[in-house]
Chains A and B, each alone.
Chain A
């Protein structure tokens, strides 16, 4: 009997070496351990033919063999599986330097990106966003903004007229008036939008985007204007950027100023970018002309205001180093794809 067990043991040890894959392991294992047809299973069936006094020893021997065989098969299985996995990985080897399967995302227009950045800054300062209409009438675009009838800005040269009364707004300031008519101070709004002027060259487009800002409250001064603009330029162009005011003229503000910020390329030392001056012109601003407040029914003795207007294309062009404004309106994907923040 021992010989029979030993023979099985031997055949397992020999057969095991030839196994190459999980399927043959399974078949081989089955040929021994299957309770009906397996060779070790058969041994168990032989039990009834064994003399009673030998049965215990026989049973023990067979069980030991079964346990031994189970362990052998488990380790073989483990080895083969590891090998198979290795092969599978090998077979799936790729050239990781091949091109990616790109998941294209688009991006917002640079003007929208710039506009969103500005909105973020001013929203955090408590400004609401008001979007006026592109088509305005003469009163809101000019008269209410203290641009008298004989003012050169009203000339056909500069303004697109749709009828004697209606025109394409030349400035987002037109929206100021609607807001001031509809609300009582305190007012803090920014008004981004398309504006139109009859200009067409490398730096002028007949349509461009402005963002107007307006604050009306008690005791608003020129100091507040500069303080607020300092915060603005620091958030957009970085800590340490400062502004400089210099006198200018807009009909709807008095005093009016041009605002320069210290050059964000050279920090104000003077470079090619700022043409050696250390300053870059960024916007026009001023204290709201009291006639404009009065036109909107706001008590100019009690309230004062500040206003500013930023050209968004100009800001974006400075930021990205674009020298022709037309590029922004041509929708050339080669351009749009580059301009993402």
Chain B
């Protein structure tokens, strides 16, 4: 929120520098996001009195003698058409900085430093300035936007700094207000805090006015939607004279970023900024039926707002109506039909509290935000609603632009705007803080915040002003005390009273960390990808219509379509990660991610979905193949003390003959394979990618398996090498399976050679295995291993027509 220092000073005597004030605000919870001097780019510009002024023949220039008081007298060439002897204008001395303008004399093109110059042979020691060159607008100083010199008042003293005259010596605080302090969304609200933190008196804005005898007979206000409008005040103002606001008001509005429109409208905006209460002014001539009604809009009802835009409303929107039609979109913007015009002679002022979420929803739904709606969204209090009306009526009188009638109608729901008594234990307040704040300090702080404290033993009684809706119990009091007393009084302790607890990772977290470290050990880098992905990713993976991955949870309000579905597979993100790397010239690499996939029972969600922790590994580059990725799968199995089995399978996005399903204890727990060529080329990259996904949530059921020591064999093991000849489509897995089942002394089977060629029939291949036999209770007899081998060969022959290679 923008707060000009000059405005703040109306309510508090501030005798510290703007930077010191920034520190003070910071210490009590108000971060100044930006502190700027209004005329920060302007320096060394003083009041110049033109004593002589002669036009230079054949030019539009004038040669002036300018009196700059204590700075001396200077010869200045000036091209403005309004320069004349006896006039007072801003004079930028040599070395001054002002804004440089474009040829149009309006567009600011940067900051320039004034140097001694020569024009048409005449020396010039400085520059007489326009308003634009000083960054002054019409609202800050009348005549500032004239394409010529800015004319200073006659009483300006030659040689004095022009900044105070033009309001350029002011400072603007841009303050961040936390959501619990809507009462500080106003200049007065900030002034209260400043007064408290500086221990100064708060001077309230004048609220007095005199009512005439004029009455608007029979005028009534009805609030149908009481839940959305707890207080509505309307006051009739007559003999209105629409005109311009005085300079001081226009300047203040300009400093907080608002345009001056007309005195009555400016008053509503001024009060909004000063008190923090949005107000509205209706032209009474256009209110029909002598009444106001606050109600929910009818479905399909239409309204044209001040800016000429038409909106179709529904019962979620709140409208202000007269006896016949809607005249305002409550809390957002007035209707065009009752706006203040130059011809307006009577006004109905509105000051009301509307429910903040209703205004927010309306503003969002219609895509229409205004200063009023932005303020309502943060929450307005009824204390300010009442005060604002008084202030506005006072200003009407002060500006002399109307007369305050005797007709004021207020409808409220009985909420008190008087201070609320609250009793808390001082011990409890200190208990939250962990320090003993002296009673005197507590009392002083509560007083400075206008809580009218009384202390009786341990009991602190405070009277919470109605605008402090955030004050509910002793922790709130503790916060008020410490932010004013100072957080530097907190003495760090390390939970002396707390019980000892056991910390650390649980089994699942430990296993996951072990797994990640093991994957790093095989050269893979961990990635983290978004939990959401794109519907187009499902198509990229060529998943069939009925694929379970397509049953994805949709985000109702995604940032964009690309990030609109909760992931049902990690493969798409991984393939894109490999794609991005390849496109950036990283031609090989290993990546992994551990993340959740989201499996919904029904869509849309009616219960928590299953979040399945999943591992995805992607490898790419010339040195990678199916088996290097399978090696990583084996690393996963070993790390988790499990055994995996692999069987050929098909996946829509993988190579039809280089894809396997991974099984553990008979259950499918994942897959691995080479990414299909058409997908790789559609992504616009060249090279091989392999991807694997493993369901860690399923594997976690075995994480608690105990590791047991198996005694080393007492008797020596024996190895046999067997070269076998078989049909080409017999798999290694099938052979291993038969061997294992044929003999329970087999400890390991290792494939060490594959051969196809002249030495065996053309439709056959040869695979050579080393089989290790391990004795159990007693040593092998001489022939026992031969017996095992014979049995193995017999089974191989019978089941798969496998022969021993001769």
Contact = CB atoms under 8 A, between A and B. Distances in A.
Given A112-B516, A135-B609, A221-B432, A228 B584 contact: no
A226 B357 contact: no
B505 interface: yes
Given A150-B357, A247-B483, A127 B495 contact: no
B432 A329 contact: no
Contacts of B555: 160-162, 168
A12 interface: no
A223 B476 contact: no
Contacts of A157: 364
A222 B498 contact: no
A277 to B, nearest CB: 10
A72 interface: no
B501 interface: yes
A166 B605 contact: yes
B517 to A, nearest CB: 8
A292 to B, nearest CB: 11
A152 B179 contact: yes
Contact of B27 (A161, A246, A254): A246
B684 interface: no
Contact of B521 (A105, A125, A245, A333): A105
B580 interface: yes
Interface string A218-231: 11111110111011
Contact of A332 (B502, B586, B608): B586
B246 interface: no
A255 interface: yes
A106 B501 contact: no
Interface in B490-534: 490-506, 509, 513, 516-517, 519-532
A33 interface: no
A227 B356 CA distance: 39
Contacts of A7: none
A160 B564 CA distance: 10
Contacts of A330: 577, 580
B435 A254 contact: no
A133 B611 contact: yes
Contacts of A196: 531
Nearest to B358: A150
B566 A135 contact: yes
Quick one: which of A127, A188, A289 has the most chain B CB within 10 A? A188
Nearest to B176: A248
Contacts of B356: 150
Interface of A is mostly: mixed
A193 to B, nearest CB: 10
B498 A224 contact: yes
Interface in A87-146: 103-109, 111-112, 116, 119, 122-129, 131, 133-135, 137
A126 B494 CA distance: 12
Given A128-B504, A247-B479, A329 B530 contact: yes
Contacts of B504: 123, 128-129
B434 interface: yes
A135 B502 contact: no
Nearest to A148: B357
A156 interface: yes
A249 B609 contact: no
Contact of A162 (B355, B378, B566): B566
A272 interface: no
Interface string A303-336: 0100000000000000000000000111111101
B432 A108 contact: no
Nearest to B517: A108
Quick one: which of B488, B504, B524, B584 has the most chain A CB within 10 A? B504
B652 interface: no
B586 A247 contact: no
Contacts of B713: none
A217 B559 contact: no
B498 A220 contact: yes
Interface in A5-55: none
B581 A333 contact: yes
A215 interface: yes
A251 B591 CA distance: 40
A196 B672 CA distance: 30
B580 A304 contact: no
Interface string B259-292: 0000000000000000000000000000000000
Contact of A227 (B179, B476, B494): B494
A106 B500 CA distance: 38
A206 B27 contact: no
Interface string A151-168: 111011100111101101
Nearest to A207: B530
Nearest to A186: B499
B473 A290 contact: yes
Interface string B541-566: 00000000000011111110001001
Contacts of B596: 134
A112 B434 CA distance: 35
B192 interface: no
Contacts of A227: 492-495
A108 B526 contact: yes
Interface in B710-754: none
Nearest to B588: A333
A304 B432 contact: yes
A255 B377 CA distance: 23
Contacts of B581: 331-333
Nearest to B520: A106
A306 B771 CA distance: 62
B482 interface: yes
A273 B493 CA distance: 29
A287 interface: yes
B26 interface: yes
Contacts of B500: 126
B181 interface: yes
Contact of A161 (B357, B495, B557, B598): B557
Interface in B578-598: 580-581, 584, 586, 589-592, 596, 598
A257 interface: yes
A119 to B, nearest CB: 7
Contacts of B606: 163, 165
A219 B530 contact: no
Given A152-B179, A222-B433, A135 B611 contact: yes
A198 B360 CA distance: 17
A50 to B, nearest CB: 55
A244 interface: yes
Interface string A250-268: 0100111100000000000
A131 B509 CA distance: 9
A64 interface: no
Interface in B364-412: 364, 377-378
Nearest to A111: B528
Nearest to A190: B503
B520 to A, nearest CB: 4
**10 nearest CB pairs, A to B:** A221-B434, A223-B434, A247-B29, A150-B357, A249-B178, A255-B479, A227-B492, A104-B523, A331-B577, A331-B527
Interface of A: 103-109, 111-112, 116, 119, 122-129, 131, 133-135, 137, 149-153, 155-157, 160-163, 165-166, 168, 186-188, 194, 196, 198, 200, 206-207, 209, 215, 217-224, 226-228, 230-231, 243-249, 251, 254-257, 287, 289-290, 304, 328-334, 336-337
28 contacts: A105-B520, A105-B522, A105-B523, A106-B592, A109-B526, A109-B528, A123-B503, A123-B505, A126-B500, A135-B553, A152-B378, A156-B557, A161-B557, A186-B498, A196-B531, A200-B559, A223-B434, A223-B493, A224-B496, A244-B487, A246-B487, A247-B479, A249-B29, A254-B476, A255-B479, A287-B475, A331-B527, A332-B586
Given A329-B530, A331-B581, 20 more contacts: A109-B528, A133-B611, A152-B377, A161-B556, A163-B606, A168-B555, A186-B499, A188-B501, A196-B531, A206-B530, A217-B499, A219-B498, A220-B497, A222-B434, A224-B494, A231-B494, A331-B527, A332-B584, A333-B591, A334-B584
